Structure 1
């Protein structure tokens, strides 16, 4: 094997003759050819390794961005659900307040009618008029209340007004009941008193007898009316009375209307003051069309005159 060495300048080249055996030649060939090849492979591997690292880094960044976006979307969805839930709750609360305001308006209108107030004085169908100059103070740090706080305050005010109106309605209803059950007036619309309460001569046998009521004479079929509100506790025939109606008014008071031609009410029926109870007749122990009127207090008959001449409550 010859190895030629080239020198610089004019120096002659040198040639060396090597006696190389077969395995030595193979080793040198591998070294001369494999070294550059190995360097190339190593360089390629390094380049590929760098590219892989870049790709891994880019993939990691993309995944992080996707996770961040997914988390933000989840937070947005959660905020949206919470907002929808709050809106639904506020909608229900407003509807509840509106219903309660309508009830208060209804109570107010009933009280206005019951008290016979001028409709223009208390008009529950209009918003109350408000006014006045505005004054601001710079020293006060004002923080606007939340919507739910305002609703709670309005609800508390409605509670207070509703309680007051309900109490007033109960008091006025009790007063109306007392007025309705207040015994006053005559049991007829037209007619005259034909016999008073107390001792009198019996019209059938001429003997002295005790008359437990007063008699009002009139025309047959004339209306007999209740002198106060109450409950019918008798409606039918009764010995000596003919057709009789008895009304219990409460507080130990009761009234009787006898000798009727026809009773127009039934036992258990609730009647109002001035309601027609029967038609005038002459049933039972009677000499002609009239109504025998009795007043009982705590189970004992009393003179109806004091109740007949009473001034009715208005």
Structure 2
């Protein structure tokens, strides 16, 4: 086998003659060098991979760090959830307090007769129900609960304003009813002398009578025909023992010839309250009450006010 060697500058060439054994030997040497180079590269790669591979202790430390990080994140989430629960609990407590006030208002309406007790019972929870839904059941999320509470608070605000207005109107109506002069000043008895001109029971002359006389049993109750303030409670000429009550708006009632007086000047009395007991003190011929109604200082026929209770 001949090998031709050519110069760098294309100069003179040389021919080297090589035998077959020499060529085979060179090829084997080349293959051996290549094999050793490959094996050395493989060993270098394996060593590098083993160097980069974490040891068991390093792997445990890595996962422990991840676990600690997740625990920290979970703790933050738990704190946020607890804060939301505390906020919702506080709002629910406030709503519960407002509901108790509304129940108290409702109970007042029941006691005042504005609402039928057989229709509403504020001591019992509202009756609700319905067939069970066979569909998918899900719990409410915190944002959904928050929105529900906000809507409930808006409804409570509206109902509370309405009930307060109704309470004011009811109180005003009750006060007007309390101050409304009507009915008889006795629980039992009869009309013995009318309002206007009459024959004087002592001298027989024609005289003016400023009220009506209602006869009855001595010691029986004399009641106020409306709420008001006692402006006189004592003896007055001609009236004997007299009770005078101011009901406002210029209306005053008088109850004369009482046996005893049960109130004092300045007392606030209610409609139907006993203010005296029937007697025959003063200018009187027997047990009765002289009942007067004055409006702005002028006497009015008490029968008109007595008749109001029947309208």
By how many angstroms is 1:66 displaced? 9.2
Q: Which residue of 1 aligns with 2:174?
A: 176
Deviates more, 1:90-99 or 1:69-78: 69-78
Q: Which residue of 2 aligns with 1:292?
A: 290
By how many angstroms is 1:177 displaced? 2.4
Cα 1:132–1:272 shift into 2, 3 Å: farther
Spell out the pairing of 1:190-205 with structure 2 (5 A cutoff). Answer: 190-205=188-203
Tell me the distance in 2 between the aligned counterparts of 1:107 and 1:127. Answer: 16
Residue by residue over 1:151-171, the C-alpha shift from the partner in whole angstroms, topping out at 9 and shown as x without a partner, is 111111111112212222222
By how many angstroms is 1:221 displaced? 0.6
Cα 1:249–1:77 shift into 2, 3 Å: same
Give ranges in structure 2 of 5+ residues lacking alignment.
1-51, 53-57, 136-140
Tell whether 2:242 aligns with 1:241: no
Q: Which residue of 2 aligns with 1:269?
A: 267
TM-score, scaled relative to structure 2:
0.68
By how many angstroms is 1:261 displaced? 1.1
Q: Which residue of 2 aligns with 1:127?
A: 126
Q: SS at the partner of 1:310? A: helix
Tell me the C-alpha RMSD between the 2 structures. Answer: 3.5
Tell me the distance in 2 between the aligned counterparts of 1:267 and 1:147. Answer: 60
By how many angstroms is 1:128 displaced? 4.5
TM-score, scaled relative to structure 1:
0.68
Q: Which residue of 2 aligns with 1:99?
A: 97
By how many angstroms is 1:236 displaced? 1.8
Q: Which residue of 2 aligns with 1:161?
A: 159
Q: SS at the partner of 1:227? A: coil
Give ranges in structure 1 of 5+ residues lacking alignment.
1-53, 55-59, 137-142
Tell me the distance in 2 between the aligned counterparts of 1:92 and 1:299. Answer: 60
Tell me the distance in 2 between the aligned counterparts of 1:117 and 1:249. Answer: 28
Match of 1:223 among 216, 221, 224: 221
Q: SS at the partner of 1:216? A: strand
Tell me the distance in 2 between the aligned counterparts of 1:218 and 1:129. Answer: 57
Tell me the distance in 2 between the aligned counterparts of 1:283 and 1:201. Answer: 20
Matched length: 252
Cα 1:238–1:72 shift into 2, 3 Å: farther
